[in-house]
């Protein structure tokens, strides 16, 4: 075992210990385990949300995308800043309603808001499906991380198994409380490691940032702007737009949002999160430095780690690896906890209404294990880059946004049928496109590339919204007629 691996293992033990400490002396009901009893203050909520935003994907996937596709990677920073703004208006009403109705998960939000257990169940399933590519990213990253820092001694697949077991132990120990404290440690580490790598590496190899970009430009003249075709300007705009639109739709964001003790936290977050997004800039610097320094590297997702291995002593590689580990554990535990909670409250509970709290806890934990196994399988079999998996996950969660946002209005034009069918169509399109590898160009061969390059999520979203409105209108005729006749509504 080399120094790097020893350091990574030490950090794993520390985070498990933090989880145990956080758990001590607290009765863990399902509400406690999942959302910390709605007692978290503004800065803590910020740390948790930031913790979910900045995962190991930020380190490996972002630098990998910059390495592989250059300027296309800038979309990540753009949508993070724009998406964060929406926190100001979207999250307070969601939080308020959840608090009034004692809601603990996203799918429960849908089932209560639309008064339909069926819709809640459906959203729970979508949530699980949408998180599978993301959790797969985490396990894959864990594999990359451990195999790279072991200097090839541990194979990627063995590393994925080790990583999965570490994550499971961590999640079982303490639920969200452990995540919150480890999130503090992780945010601290990721902040300094990204800043250090992003400043040191370009200066070390090129003297200045300008020097770095000129070297990139000399080597690949088109890397610093969007290409005319493929990940072009219209790809960029459509991808930023839908990603920002659905920024807080992650099922694992919901428990964090509900764990807040006030609506003000979210308005403060809208101020803090965009500037915090600048961290991503420093990851770009790493990716571009790797582009110049590691011309022979095949897999961009290894760029950050390979460049670290080339540049630093093993102990520092260990720190980078430990940062990646924590950046996997924190979001990973959030995702697993929220999906398991959703399955339990929306699928198991309706089937077995008299289930005890203790059994609910057990069932949630059982699903955590099951889900981990599924994602382990995918992370070993999928050949996609981290960034591709991320885009897929995003296209899936986007489909929940329209019916959720409209449900926040005083008078919702959408009903449960419209919401369900719209989402179903959107999700079906995304899944079909993902597995069949269809592109917009295949669908519309005669249209100009400005249309062909659009993110396919836009088509899914458009279909979703149209169906949602049409179906709602058709299935609601009678109620609409009644409400139009009432003078109160005419005044609106």
Partner 1 sequence: MKPYYLLAVLPFIAILGGAAFVNRIEPYVLGLPFFLFWIILWAVLCSVIMFIIYRLDPLNKENEE
Q: Is 401 in the site for partner 1 (CB under 8 A)?
A: no
CB of 120 to partner 1, least distance (A): 27
Closer residue to partner 1, CB minimum distance, 234 or 376: 234
Kindly tell me which residue out of 46, 54, 139, 236 binds partner 1, with binding defined by CB under 8 A. 236
Q: Is 102 in the site for partner 1 (CB under 8 A)?
A: no
Name which of residues 110 to 139 contact partner 1 (CB under 8 A). none
CB of 208 to partner 1, least distance (A): 6
Kindly tell me which residue out of 5, 65, 71, 304 binds partner 1, with binding defined by CB under 8 A. 71
CB of 281 to partner 1, least distance (A): 6
Q: Is 78 in the site for partner 1 (CB under 8 A)?
A: yes
Name which of residues 196 to 215 contact partner 1 (CB under 8 A). 208-213
Q: Is 240 in the site for partner 1 (CB under 8 A)?
A: yes
Closer residue to partner 1, CB minimum distance, 20 or 233: 233
Specify the stretch interacting with partner 1 by CB under 8 A; choose among 108-116, 217-225, 310-318, 467-475: 217-225
Q: Is 224 in the site for partner 1 (CB under 8 A)?
A: yes
Specify the stretch interacting with partner 1 by CB under 8 A; choose among 123-131, 257-265, 307-315, 338-346: 257-265
CB of 278 to partner 1, least distance (A): 6
Q: Is 217 in the site for partner 1 (CB under 8 A)?
A: yes
Kindly tell me which residue out of 9, 156, 158, 261 binds partner 1, with binding defined by CB under 8 A. 261
Q: Is 246 in the site for partner 1 (CB under 8 A)?
A: no
Kindly tell me which residue out of 277, 406, 419, 456 binds partner 1, with binding defined by CB under 8 A. 277
Neighbouring C-beta atoms of residue 71, cutoff 10 Å: 18
Specify the stretch interacting with partner 1 by CB under 8 A; choose among 47-55, 129-137, 235-243, 392-400: 235-243
Q: Is 184 in the site for partner 1 (CB under 8 A)?
A: no
Q: Which residues bind partner 1 (CB under 8 A)?
A: 71, 74, 77-78, 80-82, 84-85, 88-89, 208-213, 217, 224-226, 233, 236-237, 240-241, 244, 261-264, 267-268, 270-272, 274-275, 277-278, 281, 284
């Amino acid at each position: 075992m080399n120094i790097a691996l020893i350091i990574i293992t030490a950090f794993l033990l520390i985070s498990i210990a933090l989880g145990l400490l956080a758990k001590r002396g607290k009765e863990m009901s399902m509400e406690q385990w999942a959302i910390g009893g709605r007692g978290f203050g503004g800065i803590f909520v910020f740390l948790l949300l930031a913790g979910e935003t900045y995962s190991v994907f930020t380190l490996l996937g972002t630098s990998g995308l910059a390495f592989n596709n250059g300027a296309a990677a800038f979309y990540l920073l753009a949508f993070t800043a724009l998406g964060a703004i929406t926190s100001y208006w979207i999250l307070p009403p969601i939080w308020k309603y959840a608090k009034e109705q004692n809601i603990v998960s996203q799918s429960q939000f849908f089932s209560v808001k639309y008064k339909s257990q069926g819709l809640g169940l459906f959203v729970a399933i979508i949530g699980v499906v949408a998180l599978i590519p993301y959790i797969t990213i985490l396990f894959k990253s864990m594999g990359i991380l451990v195999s790279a820092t072991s200097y090839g001694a541990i194979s990627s697949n063995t590393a994925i198994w080790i990583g999965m077991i570490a994550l499971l132990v961590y999640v079982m120990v303490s639920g969200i409380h452990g995540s919150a404290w480890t999130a503090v440690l992780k945010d601290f580490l990721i902040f300094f490691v990204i800043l250090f790598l992003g400043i040191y590496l370009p200066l070390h190899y090129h003297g200045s940032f300008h020097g770095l970009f000129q070297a990139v430009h000399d080597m690949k003249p088109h890397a610093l702007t969007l290409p005319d075709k493929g990940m072009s300007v219209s790809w960029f705009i459509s991808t930023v737009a839908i990603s920002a639109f659905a920024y807080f739709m992650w099922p694992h964001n919901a428990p964090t949002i509900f764990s807040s003790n006030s609506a003000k936290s979210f308005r403060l977050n809208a101020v803090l999160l965009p500037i915090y997004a600048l961290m991503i800039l420093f990851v770009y610097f790493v990716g571009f430095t790797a582009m110049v320094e590691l011309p022979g590297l095949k897999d961009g997702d290894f760029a950050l780690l390979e460049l670290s291995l080339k540049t630093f002593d093993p102990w520092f590689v260990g720190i980078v690896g430990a940062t990646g580990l924590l950046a996997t554990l924190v979001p990973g535990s959030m995702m697993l906890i929220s999906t398991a909670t959703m399955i339990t409250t929306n699928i198991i509970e309706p089937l077995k209404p008299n289930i005890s709290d203790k059994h609910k806890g057990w069932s949630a934990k059982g699903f955590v294990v099951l889900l981990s196994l599924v994602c382990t399988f995918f992370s070993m079999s999928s050949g996609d880059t981290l960034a591709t998996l991320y885009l897929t996950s995003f296209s899936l969660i986007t489909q929940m946004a329209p019916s959720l946002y409209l449900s926040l209005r005083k008078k919702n034009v959408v009903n449960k049928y419209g919401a369900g069918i719209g989402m179903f169509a959107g999700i079906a399109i995304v899944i079909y496109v993902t597995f069949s590898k269809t592109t917009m160009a295949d669908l519309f061969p005669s249209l100009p590339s400005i249309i062909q390059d659009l993110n396919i999520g836009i088509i899914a979203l458009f279909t979703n919204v149209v169906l949602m409105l049409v179906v709602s209108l058709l299935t609601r005729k009678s109620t609409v007629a009644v409400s139009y006749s009432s003078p109160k509504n005419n005044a609106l």
